[in-house]
Amino acid sequence: MTLPLVIGNWKMNSLVSPACDMARSLAHKLVAVEGVEVVIAPPFTSLYPVGQIIKDSKLSLAGQNCYFENSGAFTGEISLEMLQDVGCGFILIGHSERRSVFGENDALINKKVHQTLKAGLTAVLCVGENLAQRKADETFKVLEMQLSQGLAGLPGLSQIVIAYEPVWAIGTGVNATPQQAVEVHAFIRHYIFEKLGFSEKIRIIYGGSVNPENSKNLLQEKEINGALVGGASLKLESFCAIINSALEP
């Protein structure tokens, strides 16, 4: 059975003190929980203290972004070595906000994925179509592009997670239905297996307005191996409820 993966992406939210409180409470809540892998991605300023708090817990740490160079004159960027140094095991790459707000393209994203894997960390490659693309029936075409370019040149056994996050579902309160998500996940799985030579067992998680009300229906689908949660990961109750719904009944 595939171990479900639930990642809380805190985005640009929370100062150090509340981030530490949240991490402490969450680690405590997860003490007796088995059967789900839980990761949190706080903002950079909180990574070190949060990493210290959760280092002996069931929680893992993720960076929300990285740069592909190791060090040097890259003002404002953060290297994988730095992220690893503070305890990150996962890196989110190519989030739609990085693509749309900060202009990241597939070539840059591919370099980040390569460097993440080289550092021995797990790359969480985020892909997804926007509303206009979905309406124009271009969803699969967009995904093929993002996947073939984002994963170019990587060996099939790479430590990768794919996060399907339709842009129209992010922060809107309108989640993809389980049917919509399953259709796309199945497409992604088939595509990366048949065309790109990756394992069929790669975890494909869903993100976009996941909340305690819709998480059970989404996560009970075999095709959906977990969730990438934004807003609802900022509150202990809602995030724990989502984590619980990833567990076997």
User: How many CA atoms are closer than 13 Å to the CA of 241, on its beta-carbon side?
Assistant: 14
Query: 57 and 24 in contact (C-beta within 8 Å)?
Result: no
Residue 83 near ligand 13P by CB under 6 A? no
**H or E segment at 248?**
none
Residue 230 near ligand 13P by CB under 6 A? yes
Residue 229 near ligand 13P by CB under 6 A? yes
Residues 157-176 that bind ligand 13P (CB under 6 A): 165, 170-171
Of 247, 217, 242, which Cα lies nearest the Cα of 231? Answer: 242
Beta-ladder partners of 80 = none
Q: What three-state secondary structure class fits 242?
A: helix
Residue 106 near ligand 13P by CB under 6 A? no
Of 10, 39, 9, which Cα lies nearest the Cα of 246? Answer: 39
Helix pair angle (44-54, 16-29), 10° resolution: 30
Nearest to ligand 13P by Cβ — which residue?
230
Q: Kindly provide the residue ranges of all beta strands, DSSP E only, lying in 105-229, ordered along the sequence.
A: 122-127, 160-164, 203-207, 226-229
Residue 14 near ligand 13P by CB under 6 A? no
Binding window for ligand 13P (CB under 6 A); candidates: 14-22, 69-77, 179-187, 223-231: 223-231
Q: Among 65, 209, 215, 225, which residue sits at the site for ligand 13P (rule: CB under 6 A)?
A: 209
Minimum distance of ligand 13P from residue 102's CB (angstroms):
14
The verdict on whether 138 is a catalytic residue reads no
* Residue carrying structure tokens 């399953």: 182
Q: Among 51, 63, 128, 207, which residue sits at the site for ligand 13P (rule: CB under 6 A)?
A: 207
Residue 156 near ligand 13P by CB under 6 A? no
The verdict on whether 95 is a catalytic residue reads yes
Query: 72 and 53 in contact (C-beta within 8 Å)?
Result: no
Binding window for ligand 13P (CB under 6 A); candidates: 42-50, 137-145, 229-237, 240-248: 229-237
Q: Among 231, 238, 242, 245, which residue sits at the site for ligand 13P (rule: CB under 6 A)?
A: 231
| Cα 133 from Cα 51, distance rounded (Å) | 38
Binding window for ligand 13P (CB under 6 A); candidates: 12-20, 21-29, 145-153, 228-236: 228-236
Catalytic residues: 95, 165
What residues line the site for ligand 13P (CB under 6 A)?
A: 9, 95, 165, 170-171, 207-210, 228-232
